[in-house]
Amino acid sequence: MSSSYVVIAEVRAGQLRQVSLEALEAARLSANEDDTISALLLGHNLAEQAKQLSRCVQGQVHVIDHPELEHYSAERYYAAILPVLEPLEPIGIVLGHTAMGRDLAPMLAAHFQAGQLSDVTAIHRTGSEVQYARPLYAGKAFEQKRFKEGRKVITIRPNNFSPAVDSGCPGEIVPHEYSSSPSLRSIIKDVISKTAGQVDLTEAQIVVSGGRGVKSAEGFQPLQQLAEVLGGAVGASRGACDAGYCDYALQIGQTGKVVTPQIYIACGISGAIQHLAGMSQSRVIIAINKDPEAPIFKIADYGIVGDLFEVVPLLTEEFRKALA
Ligand code: FAD
């Protein structure tokens, strides 16, 4: 008997988030061949994003487009989602392991009496058995889990699944009504973004990160230039944030953001275990540190022993030439 999977897609700053396309792939890996996979998109002014999503989904794209849904609010989104999800009777619900996904997933799991697996980084199928890998102990170990029965709610870590491919062929878009609830306890008036960069840190393919070795807020400028040339995002260690060199929105690690880019460039970062928890799964790690004994070199694929203020501008210059 075929079942239904629903991916709850996200829009940020007017763009469909890459993790939502990755969630479609995660749903495909999780589903049986005859299961249907549809998507649910919430927000405001979603015409373009819904079209884009419909080219990537096998099934329908359900859209709830309303000014009150422009910014994520747990209460509003939960209230809006349920009337659409319930008739679909999903066996699986997949979300990005983002601020929104982390917030909504347990609410949906409780409502649908589903099991939940969070921060999934890989899905393997052997016959009819599907195993989900997720990190433990701040990334020092991984566990393989499976659902024994019933409904599942899954959140996936950004940058760990290939995004669903754009077929170029628009699919069916199903608009839904939204009626605002009079019993809301909170209303989001505005969202103030603290990060200036165009590239979302958690979804960036290249991250240039600075630590206490950057020495000042101005010291981040060469890192920003390198990130710009590479089309990446700037991150930081908690050491740099605590020292006031940058905003905590950039912090990567156990108590910050978790990133899995293709390339992670750590500049003036010692490599404390709490920092590694947020970046050790990056595909290629490049460390620049003037101390050859710095622990970051133990996990780095490439290490440059030197002063970051000399090395980073040189790299920027060379990449600029190579990419021109
Ligand atoms: P340092 O350890 O001071 O390292 C600075 C490095 O810069 C040194 O290796 C030095 O050799 C190098 N350096 C200096 N000058 C230069 C130069 N000119 N060129 C090149 N290299 C240079 N940390 C996080 O990052 N993220 C977290 O989420 C996090 N969560 C934590 C949670 C808890 C509960 C605790 C207790 C700690 C947490 N920490 C976290 C802090 C963590 O333990 C470290 O203190 C922190 O990561 C150190 O930051 P750092 O590497 O920038 O600084």
**8 A C-beta contact, residue 117 and residue 29:** no
Supply the pLDDT for residue 5: 98
Confidence of residue 204 (pLDDT cuts 50, 70, 90): very high
Supply the pLDDT for residue 193: 74
Q: CB neighbours (10 Å) of residue 76?
A: 23
Nearest CA to ligand 1 atom 48: 239
Q: Give the bridge partners for 264, in sequence order.
A: 207, 285
**8 A C-beta contact, residue 293 and residue 271:** no
Nearest CA to ligand 1 atom 14: 213
What dotted CATH number matches 4-176?
Answer: 3.40.50.620
Hey, what amino acid is at 84? Answer: V
**8 A C-beta contact, residue 236 and residue 216:** no
**8 A C-beta contact, residue 39 and residue 21:** no
Integer CA distances (angstroms), 9 to 52, 101, 150, 229, in order? 12, 9, 23, 30
Instruction: Give this prediction's pTM.
Output: 0.88
Whether the pLDDT of residue 195 is over 70: the answer is no
* Torsion 172-177-180-183 (CA) sign: negative
Total length of the chain: 324
Q: Starting from the edge strand earliest in sequence, which strands make up the sheet with 263-267, in order? A: 233-236, 206-210, 263-267, 284-289, 302-305
Supply the pLDDT for residue 196: 56
Lowest-pLDDT range of 71-85, 87-101, 193-207: 193-207
**Domains 4-176 and 201-323 in one fold:** yes
How do residues 227-263 score in pLDDT, each as one tens digit? 999 999 999 999 999 999 999 999 999 999 999 999 9
Q: Give the bridge partners for 7, in sequence order.
A: 39, 94
Strand pairing report for 11-12 and 15-16: antiparallel
Supply the pLDDT for residue 180: 77
Among 176, 10, 182, 35, which residue's Cα sits nearest to residue 97? 10
Supply the pLDDT for residue 197: 63
> What is the DSSP secondary structure assignment for residue 164, as one 8-state letter?
P
Mean pLDDT, the chain, integer: 94
Ligand 1: residues with CB < 6 A are: 211-213, 237-240, 251, 253-256, 268-270, 272, 274-275, 278, 288-291, 294, 307-309
The share of the chain scoring above pLDDT 90, in percent, equals 88
Q: Where are the domains of the chain?
A: 4-176, 201-323
> What is the DSSP secondary structure assignment for residue 228, as one 8-state letter?
H
Q: How far apart are CA 208 and CA 231, in angstroms?
A: 10
More confident residue, 17 or 324: 17
The share of the chain scoring above pLDDT 70, in percent, equals 98
- pLDDT (mean) for 48-63: 96
Nearest CA to ligand 1 atom 2: 270
Among 199, 208, 204, 238, which residue's Cα sits nearest to residue 313? 208
- pLDDT (mean) for 138-160: 93
Nearest CA to ligand 1 atom 49: 239
Name the fold adopted by 201-323: Rossmann fold (3.40.50)
Supply the pLDDT for residue 198: 67
CA of 136 to the centre of ligand 1 (A): 22
Longest CA–CA span in the chain (Å) reads 62
Q: Which among 242, 246, 274 is the best mutation to test ligand 1's pocket, defined by most ligand atoms within 8 Å of the CB? A: 274
